[in-house]
Amino acid sequence: MDGGETGSMTFDEKCDVIVVGAGHAGCEAALAAARLGMEVLLFSISLENVAQMPCNPSVGGPGKGHLVREIDALGGEMARCIDATALQVRLLNTSKGPAVQSLRAQVDRNLYHLRMLQTLSNQPRLRLNEATVADLVIEGGRVRGVINQLGRRYGAEAVILCMGPYLASRVHVGHRSFPAGPRGQREASDLGQTLRRLGLRLMRFKTGTSPRVHARSLDTSRLTLLEGEYPGYGFSFETRRLDRPPLPCWVTHTTARTHAIIRKHLHDSAMYSGAIQGPGPRYCPSIEAKLVMFPDKDRHLVFIEPEGVHTHEMYLAGLSTSLPEDIQIEFVRTVPGLERAEITRFGYAIEYDCLDPLELERSLQLKKVKGLFAAGQINGTTGYEEAAAQGLMAGINAVRYIRGEEPVILDRSQAYIGVLIDDLVSKGTAEPYRMMTSRAEYRLLLREDTADRRLTPLGHSLGLISPERFAAFEKKQRQIEAEKARLEAVRVPANEQTAAFLQAMGSTPLTQTTNLKELLRRPELNYETLAVLDPEREVLEEETVRVVENDLRYAGYIERQQRQVAAQRRMEERRLPEDIVYSEIGGLSLEAREKLDRVRPQTLGQAARISGVSPADIAVLLVHLESRRRQGRGRVE
């Protein structure tokens, strides 16, 4: 059946929410909707690939790790699954400020899949179905259900598209290419044709993966060992400690010989032979792209990381490639420690269709079809974490749409999830979008350790955080505030004993009595070292201490960002009328008129973030809104 308007029809089955695709976005969307009381049907092309990690099975890092903790704070599943299946965890950027510090985990690919599959299978009101969705049922500008490849019809009040890189996907290795999804799965082209018939703009993007090698073929004597550094907490705020023995990871580097081979065969790479037209992820380039972009760099790091406890496959992070297989063997064996590498899976590039995210509202609902939502890589993003974050929000907002409630919109000062979605729907993207801390204006407020403080009350109010977990959260917040007050109250005298301690720590002796709060702000001191001057302190959990220390040490900067947020919030609270006609507003630039009409921003703040809309255009909009208010035309808040 055509994906356009249809007459009334009967369905073989009905439910409340249908989720198409069981990757990281689809899993979070389905779980959220079911936990909020909806009857959910989750479709997957293959149940053996639920929550698969076709690229490196690693999660976290700056920006991405922040997203995972926010997912957890709202009641999502990814963090718990990571903590249960991690092979190695490290805290990154410990020499830098707390805004960019984040957890990163190497995850057991198969165990992660199995645990998430079990979670989905055990979730009440959620059913899994292995099938390819071929069409949408649209009636009166609203989605009414889907039709699978065999013609079976499923009705629903809301549909969430989470197909990842499967729309008209094509795998490229050297000069050869064929229709396929990641890891040899079937591609899904029918649904892409439906989206085009609905008048939705699609883009063509590219991503890729690295070769895998057998662990027995490594010469570890030539590799640098990277050990895990388990902190006293996990990705989930419910995890108290990760204490499993970590599997080893190693690091090596490319050589001049590596680069010479790749440059010689650059024309054989699908990226540079003209076979691939779509742009790839700028911040995760192939090894060929690295040599083109950084011609003067004589080496690039290669991280050798395990794929699981029940496999000997090691992922070569940093060597993503679409060169022919024989060339992959040749250049991989020029890397120190990989001279006898046995490649178990060759790298490849994959090109696929995705939605232009400017087609989306901030709720992740499609502007042109009510009840139709999209989340994950289909929205132009790259990465498991970005997909899961969108899936969670799409699941929440699909439920609220069905209930006739206002959508949940996280703003840029509230969460990295808010930054992610706002960037997509306000600015669009010309390449696969990856979350980084540099994209957030209020990084110090969005620290990884504050995700629960920012979002758990919201998760509880929505019904995704249990009363027991919320009680534990409130207890932790009381401990944090009590400890900050106590540190301010404890007086430290300016005596010889204090002076000797401070000099030993490389700090200036006191000239007068002060408190522990002030000493904690000295960069050469920290909460742990100050224990010498604070013998009566209680033992607190590591993450509680981390929040206390960061809050006090950076209090001045935090207050400054909070003032900036308050000023920006006034712009966010100024809503734009739905019936506004930008082409009729005199004084707006031509580019601003076109961009505003295409994006249809909901607030003045969102309008200000659209590329091509200048401060002068915002000033014109303000005058227009004031004129409308005086004339009583439309509702302007």
Quick: pLDDT tens for 147-174.
999 999 999 999 999 999 999 999 999 9
Asked if the model's pLDDT at residue 123 lies above 70, the reply is yes
Residue 366 and residue 476 in one domain:
no
Tokens of 35: 């936990």
How large is the average pLDDT for residues 3-18? 76
Question: Is 636 among the domain residues?
Answer: no
Separation in Å, CA 8 to CA 102, 145, 157, 370: 51, 12, 14, 17
Question: Is 104 among the domain residues?
Answer: yes
pLDDT at site 47: 94
Contacts of 123 (CB under 8 A, 6+ apart): 30, 31, 34, 35
pLDDT at site 368: 96
pLDDT at site 3: 44
How large is the average pLDDT for residues 179-186? 86
Question: Is 585 among the domain residues?
Answer: yes
pLDDT at site 420: 97
Of 464, 499, 526, the residue at which a domain comes to its end is: 464
Domain that holds residue 554: 467-560
pLDDT at site 1: 36
Task: Look up the CATH number of the domain holding residue 527.
Answer: 1.10.10.1800
Asked if the model's pLDDT at residue 494 lies above 70, the reply is yes
Residue 500 and residue 525 in one domain:
yes
d(CA 308, CA 56): 11
Question: Is 567 among the domain residues?
Answer: no
Q: Where are the beta strands (DSSP E) in 379-456?
A: none
Question: Is 568 among the domain residues?
Answer: no
Residue 491 and residue 343 in one domain:
no
pLDDT at site 8: 59
Question: Is 637 among the domain residues?
Answer: no
Task: Look up the CATH number of the domain holding residue 412.
Answer: 3.50.50.60
pLDDT at site 633: 59
DSSP per-residue letters across 207-249: EEE--EEEGGG--GGGSEEE-----SS-SSTT-----SPPPPE
pLDDT tens string 264-315 = 999 999 888 888 888 888 888 999 999 999 999 999 999 999 999 999 999 9
pLDDT at site 229: 78
Query: Residue 476 — pLDDT band, cuts 50, 70, 90?
Result: very high
pLDDT at site 245: 78
Structural domains in the chain (count): 3
Task: Look up the CATH number of the domain holding residue 609.
Answer: 1.10.150.570
Average pLDDT over the chain reads 93
pLDDT tens string 125-148 = 999 999 999 999 999 999 999 999
Of 464, 481, 513, the residue at which a domain comes to its end is: 464
pLDDT tens string 318-328 = 999 999 999 99
- 627 vs 111, residue with greater confidence: 111
Residue 21 and residue 5 in one domain:
yes
Residue 456 and residue 420 in one domain:
yes
Dihedral angle over CA of 539, 445, 474, 458, nearest 10: -150
The CA-to-CA distance between both ends of the chain, in Å, stands at: 43
Question: Is 253 among the domain residues?
Answer: yes
Asked if the model's pLDDT at residue 2 lies above 50, the reply is no
Dihedral angle over CA of 254, 256, 262, 263, nearest 10: 140
pLDDT tens string 346-394 = 999 999 999 999 999 999 999 999 999 999 999 999 999 999 999 999 9
How large is the average pLDDT for residues 567-581? 87
- 178-204 core/surface letters (b: 16 or more CB in 10 A; e: else): eebbbbebebbbbbbbbbeebebebbe
Of 560, 595, 618, the residue at which a domain comes to its end is: 560
Residue 389 and residue 368 in one domain:
yes
Question: Is 565 among the domain residues?
Answer: no
d(CA 20, CA 355): 15
d(CA 334, CA 342): 13
Residue 209: closest CA among 345, 96, 339: 345
Q: Where are the beta strands (DSSP E) in 346-453?
A: 348-355, 372-374
pLDDT tens string 228-240 = 877 788 999 999 8
Highest mean pLDDT among 254-263, 532-541, 554-563: 254-263
Residue 377 and residue 359 in one domain:
yes
Residue 419 and residue 510 in one domain:
no
DSSP per-residue letters across 402-423: HTTPPPP---TTT-HHHHHHHI
DSSP per-residue letters across 529-588: GGGGG-TTPPP--HHHHHHHHHHHHTHHHHHHHHHHHHHHHHHHTSBPPTT--GGG-TT-
Residue 414 and residue 514 in one domain:
no
Residue 417, CB-side half-sphere exposure with 13 Å CA sphere: 30
d(CA 266, CA 285): 14
Residue 420 and residue 473 in one domain:
no
d(CA 609, CA 612): 9
Burial status of residue 503 (CB atoms within 10 A of its CB: 0-12, 13-18, 19 or more) = exposed
Cβ atoms of residues 218 and 250 within 8 Å: yes
d(CA 454, CA 450): 6
Residue 423 and residue 538 in one domain:
no
Query: Residue 497 — pLDDT band, cuts 50, 70, 90?
Result: very high
Residue 612 and residue 472 in one domain:
no
- According to DSSP, the residues that pair with 127 across neighbouring strands are 41
pLDDT at site 636: 43
